């Protein structure tokens, strides 16, 4: 039985309490913007959200969840004992207290206590009423509002989305949350927002029109073709850099390098293969594959057999098929994206 306090948030939250939620979020926003290119997507940024939200709002949000689901009542003593008093905060590698002179008092009285397991659910519950109101307002014009923890996305018409966003931010201020408007991102496939008065009033910036246009949704680039291809290539470079660093570090121990590259490093690009259309991931996938080949060469001490197409094909096969387990990202990208998209589409209405 699901005993999570975040049950019932699936209407607007796509990480907390929703299976495959990030896939629904990424594919859903991309599909909506493709089908309704006149809409505008605003990605919001909250300043130090988990440390600034009022603790009273967190406790009240969980209490409200308990009223709806009495079986969660045993969470209340934990909330009372860990969220009501001031708590310590430690910083840096040495784990020093934030305010070392406060011997008899805590360091922080707002925000979630460090390491508290209920913080994610409590935060989502606290802002859920405001996010739900934002979603209802935008749906009237064919838009929506969704969130991934403290990253919120408002999608609506140019004449509605900024006013609705302003109302949402006002609600968040009532529980101690402030927006970092300078870090907001805005994207629309066709709408010209240069002279949009509501946007100007809020101070939300626009990107240089000469650059590729889009936004990052749950880490995946969503936008025009150039934006998605450029983002995928940068992400491929980042993952390739991790693999190369691993190769440099473990090159003298081929057994350790092979296991680390196969079981850990190579999968770091899979999320992006699942959430960026395959026509945009070719170059990023190639760069990851090249880094994996360099790792294999270090393991095999420069064995030239890797230049043989048949040998490389065997190395790319999964272990269960008597291969080396170093999967080709270029070969996987269509299947990875299709599998993720098909699974997410079935849940778009949720």
DSSP characters over 143-176: -EEEEETTEEEEEE-TTTHHHHHHHHHHHHHTTT
Q: Is the pLDDT of residue 172 over 60?
A: yes
Tens digit of pLDDT for each residue in 303-322?
777 788 898 899 999 999 99
282-298: average pLDDT: 95
CB atoms within 10 A of CB 141: 17
Is-contact 112 53, C-beta < 8 A?
Answer: yes
pLDDT at 79: 80
Where are the strands (E) in the chain, listed by range? 40-44, 90-91, 96-97, 144-148, 151-156, 185-187, 214-217, 220-223
Determine the length of the chain: 350
Sheet strand arrangement including 40-44: 144-148, 151-156, 40-44, 185-187
Q: Which pLDDT score is estimated for 74?
A: 87
Contacts of residue 192, Cβ cutoff 8 Å, sequence gap at least 6: none
> pLDDT-derived band of residue 8, with 50, 70 and 90 as boundaries?
low
Judge whether 47 and 179 are in contact, CB under 8 Å. yes
Model pLDDT, residue 24: 93
pLDDT at 301: 81
Backbone angles phi, psi at 179, to 5 degrees: -90, 145
State the pLDDT at residue 347: 83
Q: Summarize the confidence of residues 57-74 as an average pLDDT.
A: 88
Residue 330: what pLDDT? 96
Chain centroid offset of residue 186 CA: 17
Round to whole Å and give the CA distance between 29 and 338: 16
Q: How large is the average pLDDT for residues 180-201?
A: 95
How confident is the model at residue 94, as a pLDDT? 63
As a whole number, the mean pLDDT across the chain is: 88
Tokens of 107: 């360091």
Looking at residue 189, the DSSP 8-state letter turns out to be S
Question: For 70-118, where are the alpha helices, taking DSSP H only?
Answer: 75-83
Indicate the pLDDT class of residue 2, thresholds 50, 70 and 90: very low
The tens digit of pLDDT for each residue in 13-50 reads 545 556 788 999 999 999 999 999 999 999 999 998 88
Residue 288 to residue 283: CA distance in whole angstroms? 9
Please identify which residue in the block is written with the tokens 């309704």.
36
Confidence of residue 6 (pLDDT cuts 50, 70, 90): low
Asked if pLDDT for residue 7 goes beyond 60, the answer is no
Q: Specify whether the CB–CB gap between 213 and 258 falls below 8 A.
A: no
User: Which pLDDT belongs to residue 348?
Assistant: 79
pLDDT tens, position by position, 101-158: 555 455 456 777 767 888 888 999 999 999 999 999 999 999 999 999 889 999 999 9
Mean pLDDT of 59-65: 88
What value does the mean pLDDT take over residues 64-81? 85
């Amino acid at each position: 039985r699901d005993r999570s306090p975040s049950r019932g948030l699936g209407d607007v939250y796509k990480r907390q309490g929703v299976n495959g939620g990030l896939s629904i979020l990424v594919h859903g926003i991309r599909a909506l913007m493709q089908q309704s290119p006149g809409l505008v997507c605003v990605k919001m940024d909250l300043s130090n959200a988990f440390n600034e939200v009022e603790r009273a709002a967190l406790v009240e949000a969980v209490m409200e969840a308990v009223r709806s689901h009495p079986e969660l009542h045993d969470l209340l003593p934990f909330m009372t004992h860990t969220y009501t008093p001031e708590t310590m905060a430690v910083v840096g590698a040495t784990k020093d207290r934030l305010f070392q002179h406060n011997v008899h008092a805590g360091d922080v009285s707002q925000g979630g206590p460090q390491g508290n397991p209920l913080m994610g659910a409590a935060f989502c519950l606290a802002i859920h009423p405001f996010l739900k109101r934002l979603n209802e307002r935008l749906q009237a014009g064919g838009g929506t509002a969704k969130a991934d923890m403290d990253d919120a996305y408002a999608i609506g018409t140019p004449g509605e989305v900024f006013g609705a966003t302003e109302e949402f931010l006002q609600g968040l201020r009532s529980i101690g949350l402030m927006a970092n408007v300078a870090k907001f991102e805005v994207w629309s496939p066709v709408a010209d927002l240069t002279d949009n008065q509501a946007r100007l009033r809020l101070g939300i910036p626009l990107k240089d029109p000469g650059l590729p246009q889009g936004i990052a949704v749950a880490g995946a680039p969503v936008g025009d073709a150039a934006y998605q291809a450029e983002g995928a290539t940068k992400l491929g470079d980042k993952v390739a850099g991790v693999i190369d660093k691993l190769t440099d570090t473990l090159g003298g121990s081929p057994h350790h390098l092979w296991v680390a590259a196969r079981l850990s490093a190579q999968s770091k690009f899979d999320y992006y293969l699942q959430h960026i259309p395959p026509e945009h991931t070719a170059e990023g996938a190639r760069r990851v594959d090249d880094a994996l080949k360099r790792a294999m060469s270090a393991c095999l001490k420069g064995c030239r057999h890797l230049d043989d197409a048949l040998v490389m094909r065997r190395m790319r096969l999964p272990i269960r098929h008597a291969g080396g387990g170093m999967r080709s990202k270029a070969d996987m990208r269509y299947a990875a994206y299709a599998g993720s998209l098909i699974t997410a589409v079935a849940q778009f209405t949720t």
